[in-house]
């Protein structure tokens, strides 16, 4: 048995704490810092997610995790001019892994604040430079280029958490956890998510373009490591809205849909042209954008706040302008970790430009859900596989 002592568990009062393995050696090496209990929960869930994304798509992948659910996940599709701007990336000419990280971190910047990063491939300098500019707790990857590691070791006054994982490590088939002194044991969820899972199309519309296949796979693999109930919207090679841990399916769909809407609204010309002060901190800028998009900012941000944020006070983004901008969005993919019990989920998804859906099926109201999809011309596949994660 090998073990690693931790500072404490989920909370400072939960001592002692450790991670350990009964057979062989721990598949990780801490290269810098001292990761904690929650850090490793995020790291191991995130590593599985990006490893599976890489295997399913053949592309480098990255994930941003907070409190054992992803805030973002993506593959290394190139960035266009607008994505470069809204992700605050200095250049589009960066490695595929850096593109994947920029997308994962940029999908929901508010939720990703102070995240844990997971990378499917060896961390290069391009990726390390992006990580160095953001607020995060740590990173896990199968390896690090020397210059990337040297840069990351300077982060957080030298205390940044950097973990290397054995990419060939395969866990035992059975997994065990303990709750209230009682042991739970189950077979690991080794279901393989790929295009074969999308063959059972139940709607009138049958055509799934390759971009939708990619995005539905991203959505489903993301859901496999998201606390249930969960729903994930994906577009352009990345998750753009994740609703996690909700007791009601439609609340997942609304929460994730609102995040997806914000992702697109950040590309509105008024948002792209917000006159921020040159020295504003990234978290303050991100918070101001979120407030500007999601609320009547004049009622939320006082005069003293906007003066410390903008060079001049910006014109509001009206409800009518938001509705008009979002009405042009289409081609979004949506995955659900369990069946949709009512068609209200489809009605909400339609408002966020969803054209493609993957869900297990099996509800007594499947016919009503299919009918709603047909009304909007959506393509829906029944995967037959539930993806609960707890």
Q: Is residue 182 part of a domain?
A: yes
How far is the C-alpha of 244 from the C-alpha of 247, rounded, in Å?
A: 9
Q: Are residues 28 and 80 in the same domain?
A: yes
326 Cβ contact list (under 8 Å, min separation 6): 261, 264, 265, 351, 352, 353
Give the catalytic positions in this structure: 66-67, 229, 390
Give the model's pLDDT for residue 303: 65
Q: Are residues 357 and 227 in the same domain?
A: yes
Is residue 305 predicted with pLDDT exceeding 90? Answer: no
Q: Are residues 131 and 12 in the same domain?
A: yes
Q: Would you say 286 and 86 are in contact if contact means Cβ atoms under 8 Å apart?
A: no
Q: Which residue range forms the structural domain that includes residue 283?
A: 269-316
Here the tokens at position 253 are: 């769909």
How far is the C-alpha of 363 from the C-alpha of 348, rounded, in Å?
A: 18
How far is the C-alpha of 210 from the C-alpha of 208, rounded, in Å?
A: 7
Q: Would you say 112 and 71 are in contact if contact means Cβ atoms under 8 Å apart?
A: yes
Q: Are residues 261 and 284 in the same domain?
A: no
How far is the C-alpha of 188 from the C-alpha of 177, rounded, in Å?
A: 12
Q: Is residue 388 part of a domain?
A: no
pTM of the model: 0.95
Q: Are residues 355 and 371 in the same domain?
A: yes
- Distances in Å between the Cα of 60 and the Cα atoms of 78, 81, 86, 119, 136 are 11, 21, 21, 8, 20
For the chain, what is the domain count?
3
| Residue 101 burial by Cβ neighbours in a 10 Å radius (0-12, 13-18, 19+) | buried
Report angle CA 240, 105, 233 to the nearest 5 degrees: 10
Q: Is residue 387 part of a domain?
A: no
Q: Are residues 64 and 131 in the same domain?
A: yes
Q: Are residues 202 and 289 in the same domain?
A: no
Q: Are residues 29 and 136 in the same domain?
A: yes
Q: Would you say 31 and 152 are in contact if contact means Cβ atoms under 8 Å apart?
A: no
Which of 120, 153, 170 terminates a domain? The answer is 170
Q: Are residues 134 and 227 in the same domain?
A: no
CATH code of 56's domain = 3.40.140.20
Q: Is residue 16 part of a domain?
A: yes
Q: How many CB atoms lie within 10 A of CB 65?
A: 31
Report angle CA 235, 78, 166 to the nearest 5 degrees: 90
pLDDT band at 301 (very low <50, low <70, confident <90, very high): low
Q: What is the pLDDT of residues 17-72, one digit of tens each?
A: 999 998 889 999 999 999 999 999 999 999 999 999 999 999 999 999 999 999 99
Q: Is residue 183 part of a domain?
A: yes
Which of 147, 170, 193 terminates a domain? The answer is 170
Which of 128, 151, 170 terminates a domain? The answer is 170
Lowest model confidence (mean pLDDT) among 29-33, 226-230, 269-273, 287-291? 287-291
Q: Are residues 346 and 358 in the same domain?
A: yes
Q: Are residues 219 and 253 in the same domain?
A: yes
Q: Is residue 127 part of a domain?
A: yes
Mean pLDDT of 319-324: 94
Q: How many CB atoms lie within 10 A of CB 68?
A: 19
Q: Is residue 84 part of a domain?
A: yes
Q: What is the pLDDT of residues 244-272, one digit of tens each?
A: 999 999 999 999 999 999 999 999 999 99
Please state, rounded to an integer, the average pLDDT across all residues of the chain: 94
Q: Are residues 97 and 222 in the same domain?
A: no
Q: What is the pLDDT of residues 117-151, one digit of tens each?
A: 999 999 999 999 999 999 999 999 999 999 999 99
């Amino acid at each position: 048995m090998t073990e690693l002592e931790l500072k404490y568990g989920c909370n400072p009062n939960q001592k002692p704490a450790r991670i350990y393995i009964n057979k062989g050696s721990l598949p990780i090496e801490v290269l810098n810092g001292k990761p904690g209990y929650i850090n490793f929960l995020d790291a191991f869930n995130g590593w599985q997610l990006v490893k599976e994304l890489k295997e399913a798509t053949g592309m480098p992948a990255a994930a941003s995790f907070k409190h054992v659910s992803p805030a973002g996940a993506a593959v290394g599709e190139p960035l266009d001019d607008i994505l470069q701007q809204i992700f605050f990336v200095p250049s589009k000419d960066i490695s595929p892994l850096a593109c994947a990280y920029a997308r994962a971190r940029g999908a929901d910047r508010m939720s990703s604040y102070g995240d844990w990063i997971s990378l499917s491939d060896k961390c290069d300098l391009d990726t390390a430079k992006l990580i160095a500019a953001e607020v995060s707790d740590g990173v896990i990857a199968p390896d690090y280029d020397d210059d990337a590691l040297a840069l990351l070791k300077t982060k957080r006054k030298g205390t940044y958490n950097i973990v290397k994982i054995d990419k060939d490590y395969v866990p035992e088939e059975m997994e065990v956890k303990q709750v209230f002194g009682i042991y739970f044991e189950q077979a690991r969820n080794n279901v393989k998510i790929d295009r074969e899972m999308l063959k059972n199309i139940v709607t009138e519309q049958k055509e799934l373009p390759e971009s939708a296949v990619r995005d539905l796979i991203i959505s489903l693999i993301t859901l496999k490591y998201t606390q249930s109930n969960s729903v994930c919207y994906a577009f352009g090679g990345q998750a753009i809205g994740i609703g996690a841990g909700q007791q009601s399916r439609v609340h997942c769909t609304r929460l994730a849909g609102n995040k997806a809407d914000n992702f697109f609204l950040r590309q509105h010309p008024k948002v792209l042209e917000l006159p921020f002060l040159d020295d504003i901190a990234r978290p303050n800028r991100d918070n101001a954008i979120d407030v500007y998009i999601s609320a009547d900012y004049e009622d939320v941000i006082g005069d003293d706040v906007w003066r410390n944020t903008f060079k001049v006070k910006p014109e509001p983004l009206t409800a009518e302008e938001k509705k008009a901008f979002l009405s042009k969005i289409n081609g979004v993919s949506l995955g659900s970790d369990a069946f949709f019990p009512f068609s209200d989920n489809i009605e909400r998804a339609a408002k966020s430009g969803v054209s493609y859906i993957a869900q297990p099926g099996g509800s007594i109201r499947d016919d009503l859900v299919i009918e709603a999809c047909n009304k909007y011309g959506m393509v829906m596949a029944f995967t037959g596989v539930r993806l609960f994660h707890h």
